[in-house]
Structure 1
Amino acid sequence: MRGGRIKHLSSFYIIQCILIILFPLYTQSLSFNYTDALTKSLLYFEAQRSGHLPYNQRVTWRGHSGLTDGLQQGVDLVGGYYDAGDHVKFGLPMAFTVTMLSWSVIEFGEEIAAAGEYQHALEAIKWGTDYFIKAHTHPYILWAEVGDGDTDHYCWQRPEDMTTSRQAYKIDKDNPGSDLAGETAAAMAAASIVFKELNPHYSHLLLHHAQQLFKFGDKYRGEYDASVEEVRSYYASVSGYRDELLWAALWLHWATGLDEYLEYVVENAESMGGNGWAMIEFSWDVKYAGLQILATKLLLNGEHHEIHKHVLEEYKSKADYYICACLGKNNGSNADRSPGGMLYIRQWNNLQYVSSAAFLLTVYYEYLNAAQQRELLCPDGLVRTDELLALAKTQADYILGANPMKMSYMVGFGSKYPTKVHHRGASIVSYKESNGFIGCTQGFDDWFGRGWENPNVLVGAIVGGPNCEDKFRDDRGNYMQTEACTYNTAPMVGVFAKLNQLAEKPAKDILSRTSYSFGQM
């Protein structure tokens, strides 16, 4: 037995020595360029800009668009983002996008700056928050949407040629939308943290709007899709508004340090489901997992009164549920996986859930490590916190090309990626090359139906992605898989920044953790 153990250990050390020699070459061949991925992810938001484009616009095939938005209603609603491949400005997913961009900068600002992308990240956030300031025209009025999804989907035009309705829709005290008000408050509160040192006046302005919006959403309660019926077919609020109000309160607590917001989160934990709902999804609609992880941060850091500890522990138990479900360690109540290892939630635009999970795994890893907690107790046993980051990396790598299709689902990254993205502007020749007007149906006839690659590359866009069997069909009409959304890419900004930092560590530092993984294989 002893001799056999010595032989086993000798073999192990020989393997380690081989790994030390070959590891740099191995990682070079298999790892991805996360700096490039980060750069391209931020570039994508410039392609989604609505309004009057700035002088330093880098996506040169785009031009000014939506310059009369809000004119019919007597309000300036020029600016903001198109959420996906069409030209409607939907407030709820836009706000979530900005919240996630801001959270990425708050947590991984140094890593983003080290990659030379900090200014671009700030510009991406500010393009959204500038619009939210315009859209919040009164303490109890928030413009929820510009454009009409139904008429927009009848046309296939460049944004510069838009002939579809630019009707604007609002929520107010008679037509409430607590979910929209709450998410917009969260976005502006999170952004106020980002700009606090860099631009105190702007930060204060954002915080002022955030506090007003939270008060509005809490005082006049209701789902926004009951007030703005036009949004129901596109961004219906399935989870209701309670998660957004709790979410907004947590962000306001972080931004202000005021106890009243934390007390709101604690006192309403049970009635609003904060410590009751256990989720395996985090998205533009369902915020529970995100707010539970934010609440856990307060608990781990000791940033709470003792009387709040019990409720925050309940929040943590639900945060652990989400993380353990992603890891497949949750006593059977787990997130599904594709054969290739992709987390799978649902058929339509599944990569939005993959990117949001990768972010929460990464940020929870950071919170646990900061609290000197190296293990997490899941129903199926102890998990090393390194495994959270490892899973986030596998999901990021899957998006970038480590998948059965060997395709990058980030457009413009790598040598093989979707070339027929469901996106009006990208699929039609740039107006700068051909400035002749392209009509509503002409776009379908001349551009949508052709089998050619898009003339403009939508760099940095993360498409909907493959199905549960890792299958993907690159077809413009296959919108469930080939349409990209801003909230797919936004969470990956922080993830790519973190992975880029880790990739730059010496090989021997990475190897110190490799033996654990090797031993588990």
Structure 2
Amino acid sequence: LCVRVLLVSFVVAHALAPSACSATSFFAAGASRPRHDYRDALSKSILFFEGQRSGRLPPEQRASWRGDSGVSDGAAAGEEVDLEGGYYDAGDNVKFGFPMAFTATMLAWSVVEFGEHMPPGERRHAAGAVRWATDYLLKTLAHPGVIFMQASRSPRIAPLHVGDPWKDHECWERPEDMDTVRTVYNVSAARPGSEVAGETAAALAAASMVFRDDDPEYAETLLASARSAFEFADTYKGAYSDDTDLRAGGCPFYCDFNGYQDELLWGAAWLRRASKDDTFLQYIQNNGKTLGAEDNTNEFGWDNKHAGLNVLVSKEFIEGEALFLQSFKDYADSFICTLIPESSSPHITYTPGGMIYRPGGSNMQHVTAISFLLLTYAKYLSKSSHTVNCGDISVGPETLQLLAKKQIDYLLGDNPMKMSYMVGYGDRYPQRIHHRASSLPSIRDHPELIACKEGTPYFKSSGSNPNPLIGAVVGGPGEDDAYEDDRADFRKSEPTTYINAPLVGVLAYFVGNPDPGNSRH
């Protein structure tokens, strides 16, 4: 049973011993190793999303071992409901709306912030990956007063996810063969889900910036829909995890541990960035303290948006356009200082090999998301005279870039296991990832049905997966830097869309700036 829990009930804050990991030794480690092929890694990190697609696949589909799946999704909520498309979140066959929306937000932010460093073909593929998600998210808003999450035909609904997670996880079968119930869960005015609606607003607003030049009509549709989603989130406040029925369908897989308040600010922040509408700036200013903008934790992911929110909003202050937003830069600085070994702040944990580590499994989600924020904040700082104030030391953008590079080089192979944690990159990488479609014979090579329990022998097999999911980044090693390449150990061997989404932006940055300190921004 795959339980991907993002722990937010406490903050791990272990200080690094300076003798073991000073800033100099920490950033310099591995500096003499051969340079990684960031362009190859970028290409593969984007290709991964084609292996996660649900729905009818397009003629240009490059992950050719996949086939059409979930083409009747939404029918359980009524014939007029079409929820075909979108992404399976990880190694299962369920479409969870909350992490999918976050995936779309981070893919879009990757293109918005670092798309200029992408080769033209890769930027096109990245935009295609964004659109595969946003086309689906628009369908969840396609009915008057609706954002679909789960099965219901009541007014004012919003989808949480498609597929029964409990029944899905009892089976080991290809998405093309799915015979489990495709339940559609939803939130409504009476059963709110502000976190899903707020994240959907953020995703659509961010994506509107991706398509503004190439497809302005689509961009306007996205932005208008983002406004509608945000209005729903703000009008009907509440967390889906507080509803007994919705909690049963979404938990423990994607419980909202952190509350919905950060998604309201996050959605408003992206609508401000995309539209320049002062209404959303005022919303942030008026509601920041009430909705917990000052909450400081050294994490950023599908459930907890505070660190990303503070980095995003601080941009206007750093650029001198909104001086009353200084507190958001202060909060962003506080987050960054938890990552700097020599600062006086309580620190996030690093493994002996130098990887950012948080307990709970799927650790690479923290590595990629935090690395993205480091590079984004460095970009904002580099265009000003601002630095990060960490008590008795001041940290500039180059330090943040070097820290991010250390993390990504670890992911790509500069680690104690001397292996890449991206499938298909380098000479040694995971062979037995926890992923149904990858581990079973492809529909092309084995067109006969492989039913629910018939896939179990493949799950238990010690052999390599027959369909390499190129570009997939697994959950990665534990606090001891060890990785066993065990399909059954989903905490380490399962890839997710929200691991890869911020990684796209990080790798794009390093394509254009392989040597931080001598970078063009």
TM-score normalised according to structure 2 size: 0.89
C-alpha distance in 2 between matches for 1:328 and 1:345: 16
User: How many residues in Structure 1 have an aligned counterpart in Structure 2?
Assistant: 475
Which entry has the higher C-alpha Rg, 1 or 2?
1
Contact 2:423 2:473 in 1 (8 A): yes
Of 240, 243, 265, the residue aligned with 1:246 is 265
Range 331-340 or range 478-487, more displaced: 331-340
Structure 2 equivalent of residue 416 of structure 1: 428
Give the C-alpha shift of residue 104 in structure 1: 0.7
Contact 1:38 1:493 in 2 (8 A): yes
Give the C-alpha shift of residue 384 in structure 1: 2.8
1:197 aligned onto 2:213: yes
* Partner-residue secondary structure (3-state), 1:466: coil
C-alpha distance in 1 between matches for 2:109 and 2:292: 23
* Partner-residue secondary structure (3-state), 1:215: helix
Structure 2 equivalent of residue 222 of structure 1: 238
Structure 1 equivalent of residue 189 of structure 2: 173
Structure 1 equivalent of residue 375 of structure 2: 362
Change (3 A) 1:324 1:125: same
Q: Specify the code of the residue in structure 2 equivalent to 1:267.
A: N
Where in structure 2 are the equivalents of 1:290-329 lying within 5 Å? 290-304=308-322, 309-310=323-324, 312-329=325-342
Where in structure 2 are the equivalents of 1:43-122 lying within 5 Å? 43-74=47-78, 75-113=81-119, 116-122=121-127
C-alpha distance in 2 between matches for 1:177 and 1:168: 15
C-alpha distance in 2 between matches for 1:219 and 1:49: 32
Structure 1 residues 45-104: Cα deviation after superposition (integer angstroms, max 9, x where no partner): 000000000000000110000011011212000000000000110001000000001001
Structure 1 equivalent of residue 508 of structure 2: 497
Where in structure 2 are the equivalents of 1:136-155 lying within 5 Å? 136=141, 137-139=143-145, 140-155=156-171
Give the C-alpha shift of residue 225 in structure 1: 2.2
C-alpha distance in 2 between matches for 1:41 and 1:511: 22
Of 130, 136, 156, the residue aligned with 2:135 is 130
Structure 1 stretches of 5 or more lacking a match? 1-25, 513-521
C-alpha distance in 1 between matches for 2:112 and 2:519: 29
Change (3 A) 1:382 1:156: same
Contact 1:326 1:357 in 2 (8 A): no
Q: Specify the code of the residue in structure 2 equivalent to 1:339.
A: P
Of 427, 430, 454, the residue aligned with 1:442 is 454
Change (3 A) 1:298 1:156: same
Change (3 A) 1:320 1:329: farther
* Partner-residue secondary structure (3-state), 1:144: strand
Tell me which of the two structures has the higher relative contact order, counting C-alpha pairs closer than 8 angstroms and 6 or more residues apart.
2
Q: Specify the code of the residue in structure 1 equivalent to 2:351.
A: S
* Partner-residue secondary structure (3-state), 1:503: coil
* Partner-residue secondary structure (3-state), 1:86: coil
Contact 1:347 1:467 in 2 (8 A): no
* Partner-residue secondary structure (3-state), 1:377: strand
* Partner-residue secondary structure (3-state), 1:233: coil
C-alpha distance in 1 between matches for 2:424 and 2:107: 20
Structure 1 residues 219-248: Cα deviation after superposition (integer angstroms, max 9, x where no partner): 101102234221011000111000000000
1:389 aligned onto 2:401: yes
C-alpha distance in 1 between matches for 2:345 and 2:118: 37
Structure 1 equivalent of residue 148 of structure 2: none
* Partner-residue secondary structure (3-state), 2:190: coil
Q: Share of identical aligned residues, percent?
A: 45
Where in structure 2 are the equivalents of 1:418-433 lying within 5 Å? 418-433=430-445
C-alpha distance in 1 between matches for 2:238 and 2:518: 50
1:334 aligned onto 2:353: no
Where in structure 2 are the equivalents of 1:272-291 lying within 5 Å? 272-274=291-293, 276-291=294-309
Contact 1:329 1:379 in 2 (8 A): no
Structure 1 residues 133-181: Cα deviation after superposition (integer angstroms, max 9, x where no partner): 1111233332111001110010000010001110101111111100000
Contact 2:422 2:429 in 1 (8 A): yes
RMSD: 1.7
Q: Specify the code of the residue in structure 2 equivalent to 1:161.
A: D
Q: Specify the code of the residue in structure 1 equivalent to 2:477.
A: P
Q: Specify the code of the residue in structure 1 equivalent to 2:229.
A: L
Give the C-alpha shift of residue 510 in structure 1: 4.2
Of 468, 487, 497, the residue aligned with 1:486 is 497
Contact 2:318 2:380 in 1 (8 A): yes
Give the C-alpha shift of residue 411 in structure 1: 0.9
Change (3 A) 1:223 1:329: farther
Structure 1 residues 299-351: Cα deviation after superposition (integer angstroms, max 9, x where no partner): 011232xxxx34x1111111011111112244241111000000111241111
Deviating runs (4+, > 3 A) in structure 1? 26-29, 509-512
Contact 2:345 2:390 in 1 (8 A): no
1:234 aligned onto 2:250: no
